[in-house]
Amino acid sequence: MTNDVIIIGAGPAGLSAAITCAKHGMNVVVIDEYYKPGGRLLGQLYEEPDGSWWNGIKESDKLYNQAINSGVQLKLSVPVINIERQGTEWNVFTNMETLQANNLLVATGAAESPAPVPGWTLPGVMSVGAAQVMTNVQRVKPGEKGIIIGVNVLSAAIAQELKLANISVESMTLPKINSMNHDYAIPKNVVNSLLHVSHLSPSPIIKIGSNLMKYKLINKLALKFYPNKGIKMWDIPIQLKKAVTQIYGTDKVEGVTIANVDDYGQIIPKSEKSIEVDFVCISGGLYPLAELAAIAGCPFYMIEELGGYVPLHNERMETPLSGLFVAGNITGIEGAKVAAAQGTVAGLSIVNNTLNSAFEFELEEAIKQVRIIREENPIQFHPHIQNGRKKMQKYWNEYFANNQESFII
């Protein structure tokens, strides 16, 4: 059977798009390989600037109920393995069946960048997002006492979540420097990015940021005055002058070796110490999960501010391939509210394209809404996200100037 719309990904972007399309009478199927709807929204739990709490499980439930009540068909635990264009239709291959639709939205979200530290394959070492989901979604402690390697917005938010669940976090610290991880391992770079983000957002990181600011006021080189024992956030020491050099254990994590580092991330000899922990979280940042858009044949651009390679798209969430749309973190790393707002835009774009531009006004308004939410969003993953968005628009304009023809059919 042919559907009007297939959506890959039941995160905030995919579900918001599905609700919008279904409310306008379209027949929508959403496919997700996870066993629950909500995507990465599920694990989120942070304090809003007004003091209320953003509870990802509740937000996911809301979206799920709206989707089901508007007639969206949801297929969970179903991985999409391939997509292919045939005539005017998109074929979507899952491990069970092949589905067809004229409109396809790829809303596959983001993934965590691997950030290997010696010993990282031992059981008990996990990405920081893994600990988030284990704690808040599965409600199992990832361990009794852990350490977080990588200091950034996401790891700071998750450190607090572990603390809330009464899990002991020894400290947050940096990884040992290697040729790939300068942004995460050199104290100067980390401090710069923290100061930058804290500037813009009242998110958890501001609490580190504003503490750092105090030092900044004393001396431009915040790092020089950064105390060796770290500064504390929710009682968790943030160590910007230490790095984990080795995770050790026989057949699971038993501890880490931690050393002092200079401002450039170089290990200070003979400063190594062992700390016993039973789990380790590694955080190397997020990148857009865009394989499926690549398979479909969408052109890609590397835009650092958006988190990596991003499929070419415009503010209407269209790609140059007719009937192919993208929304959410696949278009750049941002918080869940932006992803949801982009989903609504993608939904309206699909409706508008199908119904002879009858929803032009609503679409314009929804696009404005994305911009507003982006500015107000408490979680900013990249301080220059707006620049990234502008670059993408420029690439889009250039692409159509060079390729005279409109959409690729």
Partner 1 sequence: MSQRIKYHPLLEDYKDGKNITFIFNSEEYIGIEGDTIASALLVNGIRTLRYHEETGTPHGLYCNIGQCFECRVNVNHQQGVRACITPIEDGMVIKSQDVLPTPVKDWREKHDK
Ligand X SMILES: Cc1cc2nc3c(=O)[nH]c(=O)nc-3n(C[C@H](O)[C@H](O)[C@H](O)COP(=O)(O)OP(=O)(O)OC[C@H]3O[C@@H](n4cnc5c(N)ncnc54)[C@H](O)[C@@H]3O)c2cc1C
Instruction: Report the interface residues with partner 1, using CB under 8 A.
Output: 33-35, 40, 45, 53, 55, 57, 77, 79, 111-112, 114, 121-127, 129-131, 133-136, 138-144, 164-166, 251-252, 289
Pair of tokens at residue 151: 């200091």
Residue 26: name its binding partner from ligand X, partner 1, none (Cβ under 5 to 8 Å by kind): none
Site residues (vs ligand X, CB under 6 A): 8-14, 31-34, 39-41, 44, 79-80, 107-112, 129, 132, 154, 157, 286, 289, 292, 328-329, 335-336, 339, 379
Smallest separation (angstroms) from partner 1 to the CB of 142:
7
Q: Which residue has the tokens 């880490």?
A: 256
Angstrom distance (rounded) from CA 335 to CA 109: 11
Alpha-carbon Rg of the chain, whole angstroms?
A: 22
CA-nearest of 357, 349, 343, 356 to 19 is 343
Angstrom distance (rounded) from CA 356 to CA 172: 54
Is-contact 29 9, C-beta < 8 A? no
Smallest separation (angstroms) from partner 1 to the CB of 79:
8
Residue 140: name its binding partner from ligand X, partner 1, none (Cβ under 5 to 8 Å by kind): partner 1
Question: Closer CB to ligand X, residue 289 or residue 310?
Answer: 289
Neighbour-count burial of 130, counting CB atoms closer than 10 A to its CB (0-12 exposed, 13-18 middle, 19+ buried): middle
Q: Which residue has the tokens 């992803």?
A: 339
Residue 35: name its binding partner from ligand X, partner 1, none (Cβ under 5 to 8 Å by kind): partner 1
Question: Closer CB to ligand X, residue 381 or residue 396?
Answer: 381
Question: Closer CB to ligand X, residue 12 or residue 320?
Answer: 12
Helix ranges restricted to H, 242-335: 291-296
Smallest separation (angstroms) from partner 1 to the CB of 289:
7
Residue 44: name its binding partner from ligand X, partner 1, none (Cβ under 5 to 8 Å by kind): ligand X
The DSSP element (H or E) to which 153 belongs, if any, is: helix 153-164
Residue 272: name its binding partner from partner 1, ligand X, none (Cβ under 5 to 8 Å by kind): none
Smallest separation (angstroms) from ligand X to the CB of 115:
13
Residue 122: name its binding partner from ligand X, partner 1, none (Cβ under 5 to 8 Å by kind): partner 1
Residue 166: name its binding partner from partner 1, ligand X, none (Cβ under 5 to 8 Å by kind): partner 1
Smallest separation (angstroms) from partner 1 to the CB of 94:
14
DSSP string, 161-226: HHHHTT-EEEEEEEEPP-TT-HHHH-HHHHHHHHHHHHHH--SHHHHHHHHHHHHHHH-S-GGGG-
Question: Closer CB to ligand X, residue 48 or residue 360?
Answer: 48
Number of Cα atoms under 13 Å in the Cβ half of residue 44: 26
Question: Closer CB to partner 1, residue 110 or residue 363?
Answer: 110
